[in-house]
Amino acid sequence: MAFQINPSKKISVMFPTRGRPVQALSSMQSMIDTADNPHDIEFMIAIDDDDQKTIDYVESDMIPYFEKADLDLYVFTQPRMGYHRLNEYTNILAQHSKGEWLCVWNDDAIMVSKGWDTEILSHSGQFAVQRFSDNHGHPYAIFPVIPRDWLILFGCVSPHVITDGWISQVAYICDAMIQLKSECIHDRADLTGNNDDETYAERQPERLEGDMSNPKDFLYPPTAQLRIVWGYKMEWFRKRLGQDNGYLDKARAGEYDVWTRMREHDPKGFLGTWKYEQ
């Protein structure tokens, strides 16, 4: 695998998909149709080698669509890893990506706003996380956009399956979350009533967020502490770039809780009470 340090594309859109080939193509089309410069974007999908329905559709419909449009599509096939290893699919795609910015996307997401790519690129040079406006009302960047340097600094997109939470918490620790005006819709069953299928059902049995005694859980103390470490690394890099605003230094000095910025983006109280652990 030839990991690319310097980007040769502007944006990489990455997501795994299973059993939803039509939705996957529609999702990408929504981004293509609303982008100012779709030729600057590469689309990257990961599919399981036992998902013949998707494999057939990729060959019969998806690849011809991209070839006709003269746009970049990369399809990676591997043995099935399952819902609770979604971050590993994304990490694989990221290692092959070429984008200046990496967008962690879903096959059930729909882009609404025109010029979303231009807005992302307006923040080029910033070591920060960008979050779209969406229909969740959640403080996390549900579909986070990260700079290529994130991948170089940390070695992966996320070490935990709750990728949006991992990226968002690290960014909030440093007050490095950029809110975009560009809007997308997560067309998920519990939000819109659509896509209530086997793929959606697979996510239900084990949430891996709330049992601090479970080593696989997002809140398992060593795992939570690792996010703090990533936050320190992000702060260090932002200081070297001259982009740090002193937020984490003030939190360490006891001026406020490090989760203050995250709570400010959580008016509905999705996350409850978070305690800073150094």
Crossing angle of helices 221-241/163-173, nearest 10°?
50
Task: Give Cα separations from 228 to 128, 220, 231 (angstroms).
Answer: 16, 13, 5
Q: Does the pLDDT value for residue 176 go beyond 70?
A: yes
Residue 138 is assigned to a structural domain of this protein: yes
Q: Which residues does 55 contact at the CB level (< 8 Å), separation at least 6?
A: 47, 49, 77
pLDDT digits (tens, 9 = 90+) for 235-269: 999 999 999 999 999 999 999 888 899 999 998 88
Q: Give the pLDDT band (50/70/90) at residue 276.
A: very low
pLDDT digits (tens, 9 = 90+) for 72-82: 999 999 999 98
Q: Say what the pLDDT of residue 80 is.
A: 94
Give the domain range for residue 138: 9-191
Q: Does the pLDDT value for residue 278 go beyond 80?
A: no
Q: Say what the pLDDT of residue 277 is.
A: 47
Q: Say what the pLDDT of residue 274 is.
A: 54
Q: Say what the pLDDT of residue 147 is.
A: 98
What is the pTM (predicted TM-score) of this model? 0.94
Q: Does the pLDDT value for residue 157 go beyond 90?
A: yes
**Is the model more confident about 33 or about 269?**
33
Q: Say what the pLDDT of residue 268 is.
A: 84
In this structure, are residues 29 and 111 in contact, taking their beta carbons and an 8 Å threshold? Answer: no
Residue 14 is assigned to a structural domain of this protein: yes
Residue 84 is assigned to a structural domain of this protein: yes
Among all chains, which residue has been given the structure tokens 């695998």? 1
Q: Does the pLDDT value for residue 202 go beyond 80?
A: no
Domain count, the chain: 1
pLDDT digits (tens, 9 = 90+) for 83-136: 889 999 999 999 999 999 999 999 999 999 999 999 999 999 999 999 999 999
Residue 58: count other Cβ atoms within 10 Å of its Cβ.
22
Q: Where residue 87 sits, what CATH number does that domain have?
A: 3.90.550.10
Q: Say what the pLDDT of residue 58 is.
A: 98
Chain mean position to CA 128: 13
Q: Say what the pLDDT of residue 3 is.
A: 76
75, HSE (Cβ side, Cα atoms, 13 Å): 18
Q: Does the pLDDT value for residue 163 go beyond 70?
A: yes
Mean pLDDT score across all residues of the chain: 93
